[in-house]
Structures are given as C-alpha cells and as structure tokens.
Amino acid sequence: MLRFRFSSTLILAVHAVVAVVHDLAHRDLGIELTEAQTNYINLVIVAAPVVAVILVWTRFKTAGAILFAFAMAGSLLFGLYNHYLLVSPDHVSYLPDGDLQSAFRITASLLALLEALGVAVGIWGVILGRGSEGKGPGVPSASVS
C-alpha cells in the first residue's frame, strides 16, 4: 500500500505542474473557458485528486483510491473531449495563434497520459485496499460466535 500512496502522490504532484503550464498556455493563446468548464476543472481536476491523496494517507485509503480513480477518469474524459474531439479553440488542431501552441499540445498529451496512469493507479489502490480488509482477498474472516 505504501507504493500506491507514493505513486498517487507523485502523479498528483506532476499532474499539478503540467496543469499549471497548460493553464499558462491557455492564457497565452486566449482560450477562454465557460463558467461550467471552470467549475468542473476546479472541482474534479484540481480539488478531488488533492482530497483523494490526502485520504490515501489516512485510514480511509480505499475511499481515497476510489476518489482518485474517479477524479482522474473525469479529468481524462474532460481533456480528451475538449482537446481531441470537440472542434473549438481548445482543440489541439485548431489552436489560435500564439507562442505557446507547442506547450499547449505537449501538456494536453502529458495530462492525458498522467490521467490514464492515475486511473490505473487508483484502481490498483482499490484492489490493494480491498485485499487489506480482513485477512486478504479470498481468505474468509474468522467468525466470532
């Protein structure tokens, strides 16, 4: 479980750094977000993974792993839709002119990669957490009469 805790923390930290650079590219290119998009980003992409990683370092590690997996999945779907599917100024192939187009494209790809990895690590944490309940997976707990 310690490897999971460190892995989720590392993914969170690297994801945050890449997201900051991506935000700078958004600003440089003048790509504005709707209020709904901004709220989603703040709640699902920023706050939820932070709360999840805090939880994985407590006795609520399985809940943290579940939240981490769902937050990373929600982030991944949001990014894939906005950067690769929806034709808009936020799409990697339709960016407005600006100095940070390359940074935008690179960080969009890195975010997708980190989020996919985050989903996998979150699922790994859930499996580890469920296995640590009782005596482990597939081993029945002793009943007390």
User: pTM to 2 decimals?
Assistant: 0.88
Question: Which residues in the chain come in under a pLDDT of 70?
Answer: 133-145
Domain ranges of the chain: 2-132
pLDDT of residue 1: 84
Contact 76, 112 (CB under 8 A): yes
Count of H-run helices and E-run strands, the chain: 5, 0
Separation between Cα atoms, residue 90 and residue 84, nearest integer Å:
9
Retrieve residue 17's tokens: 């750094």
How confident is the model over 24-38, as pLDDT tens digits? Answer: 999 999 999 999 999
Separation between Cα atoms, residue 101 and residue 81, nearest integer Å:
18
